[in-house]
Structure 1
Amino acid sequence: MGGESVGTETEEQPHGAAVVADGFGLKGPRGWAFRQVSFRAEPGALVAIEGPSGSGRTCLLLALTGRMKAKEGHAEVGGLPLPRRMAAVRRISALGQVPGVSELDPAFTVAEHLRERALLQRRYDGSVRALLRRPAERAATARARIEEAVAAAGLDLAALPKGERTSVRDLERLEALRLSIALALIARPRLLAVDDTDLKLSDADRAEAWALLRSLAAAGTTVLAVCSEAPEDALRITTLTGEAAPGAPGAPASDAETDTTQTGTTETAAAEPGAEERAEGRAPADTTTGVPDADRAAVGETAADDTTDATTEEGAADALAETGRA
């Protein structure tokens, strides 16, 4: 499937991308971020990546969306092999909130974020025909994209303190999550990825967040969501620390035999207290790279035939197209 046909299909009708991993693993300078991850998710599935702090959840999310290069095993997203077709996978996937990679700017208003993302979407992914449309027609198309994404994310602009002029710093945690998802949906992705889905949410807000992700999956978009505790109806991908890897002395039995759970393992120093922060390289909102520190060399690396990511710098710039901060 060529890049043009993918763009056309995504433009006309959002549909989920199947995600398959077999022995998938990513290794950085400090060791394995995750390893031996195997699972299969059908198009339109809700996939919850859960595990303890430092178990490589965010790195797995970024690897499956073409933002990090795996070192062993293989995976496919929408039939596109990873890591060989990382750039193509990025074109059909979108990131919601991922700290240090795709963060909301607290000084921006909701409207400013939405307009900026619609403008970037038109610039980077628009067809030649779309670019030649009259300004009024392009503006109307952008407004329609924004309205569609906001509605799908369940973001009620009228209920915000200052409507669409509300600054991100004044948003409640759940509303900020909805905004980040709306921004990602402007691209009409086949695969949506969200980090820290249930972080700092009350039980009621957590239930609303999962209800939102279920609705997106039911509408056809495949959803990957990192969380501390997965809902029972999701396909659970559990990352484990090296000490708890299957086969290790005293390790728990793998739950990959259940219908809804697959298991990945990690062999990394990230199991140390505070190592996840070092491995995921939390960066301020105005950074231009947002590359997890322990795996910086993995971002932007591709096989020889993926020429759009020939260098680390170019790969990081491509990943930043998702945030509009390049």
Structure 2
Amino acid sequence: MESPHGAAVTAESLGMRGPRGWVFRNVTFSAEPGALVAVEGASGSGRTCLLLALTGRMRTTEGRAETGGLRLPKQAAAVRAIAALGPVPMVSELDPAFTVAEHLGERALLQGRYGASLRSLLRPRAERRAAATARVDEALEAAGLDIAALPKAGRTSVRDLERLEALRLSVALALIGKPRLLAVDDTDLKLSDAERDQAWALLRSVAAGGTTVLAVCSEAPEDALVVRTDAAAGDRAPGTDGRPTGATAETAPATDDPTTTITTDEETADAFAETGRS
């Protein structure tokens, strides 16, 4: 029997400690392939670090986690091969000077050169070009981005895109590689209520297509499996946070000790530095 395309994601008592204390701690949840997982919490509560840890890009310091059956952090390189990043500040941001077409062309070229099988590389150039075009068109459709509707079509610069359009472009770029897990940071940042609904509809459709979606947000939709990274989650009674039956998501209890809880963006940046990211 063929396994599902999406990657199951599990965490048990997962934690990450930085130079000034815990970035996040006691995160426990289980998500099936094709699930929509919302990582909810206040800015500076370790949401982005958890996202990067579960995609094999940061190293945790306690607990256990698996993505697609691959153990973290031991098999982080293999996880990176099946998990793609949408927009993540300082990690996978769009270049504002590039046009939409340039971004798509670059990603298709990289995918064709480094993500393709040896057999596909031996195909005639015209056939490879047609396959790359089809892959880009498929990703754009899945992301709901109509290039023809942009002010200058494919020649539109990223700096001229609306926030929701930029999100769709980032998702499309990630989907070109047909990942089993899509990770998106700051999903609802600077979006109106209507735009926020559209953003979640986009991610919901990606998940419905079989790709597991891990999305950082300040407020999760009711139908998502919710994982909280702030202390407030410890005060909620089980079953009141909108996550599906059988899922668990726990975070560390509140503490007054500033050496054990990271609460600012500056301290989160320190954790990036300790793990080798800037």
TM-score normalized by the length of structure 1: 0.77
Equivalent AA in structure 2 for residue 136 of structure 1: A
Distance 1:295 1:105 in 2: 21
Distance 1:156 1:259 in 2: 32
Q: CA deviation at 1:139?
A: 1.1
Q: CA deviation at 1:137?
A: 1.5
| RMSD (Å) for aligned C-alpha atoms | 2.1
Give the one of 186, 193, 201 matched to 1:196.
186
Distance 2:188 2:250 in 1: 20
Distance 1:118 1:89 in 2: 21
Structure 2: give runs of 5+ residues left out of the alignment. Answer: none
Partner residue of 2:250? 263
State the secondary structure of the residue aligned to 1:25.
Answer: strand
Partner residue of 1:223? 213
Query: Against the structure 1 CA distance between its residues 235 and 70, is the aligned structure 2 distance closer, same or farther, given a 3 Å change threshold?
Result: same
Q: Greater CA deviation, 154-163 or 23-32? A: 23-32
Equivalent AA in structure 1 for residue 163 of structure 2: R
Instruction: Confirm or deny that 1:181 pairs with 2:158.
Output: no
Whether the aligned pair in 1 keeps the contact of 2:41 and 2:47 (CA below 8 Å) is yes
Equivalent AA in structure 2 for residue 265 of structure 1: A
State the secondary structure of the residue aligned to 1:126.
Answer: coil
Whether the aligned pair in 2 keeps the contact of 1:255 and 1:262 (CA below 8 Å) is no
Whether the aligned pair in 1 keeps the contact of 2:23 and 2:268 (CA below 8 Å) is no
Distance 1:165 1:67 in 2: 32
Distance 1:254 1:23 in 2: 19
Structure 1: give runs of 5+ residues left out of the alignment. Answer: 1-8, 247-251, 282-292, 300-315, 321-326
Instruction: Confirm or deny that 1:234 pairs with 2:211.
Output: no
Distance 1:258 1:207 in 2: 19
Query: Against the structure 1 CA distance between its residues 14 and 171, is the aligned structure 2 distance closer, same or farther, given a 3 Å change threshold?
Result: farther
Equivalent AA in structure 2 for residue 152 of structure 1: A
Alignment of 1:62-73 (within 5 A): 62-73=52-63
Percent identity of paired positions between Structure 1 and Structure 2: 67
Distance 1:240 1:123 in 2: 41
Whether the aligned pair in 2 keeps the contact of 1:75 and 1:82 (CA below 8 Å) is yes
Q: CA deviation at 1:279?
A: 3.7
Equivalent AA in structure 1 for residue 102 of structure 2: E
Equivalent AA in structure 2 for residue 204 of structure 1: A
Whether the aligned pair in 2 keeps the contact of 1:255 and 1:263 (CA below 8 Å) is no
Query: Against the structure 1 CA distance between its residues 257 and 22, is the aligned structure 2 distance closer, same or farther, given a 3 Å change threshold?
Result: farther
Whether the aligned pair in 1 keeps the contact of 2:29 and 2:227 (CA below 8 Å) is yes
State the secondary structure of the residue aligned to 2:45.
Answer: coil
Alignment of 1:17-28 (within 5 A): 17-28=7-18
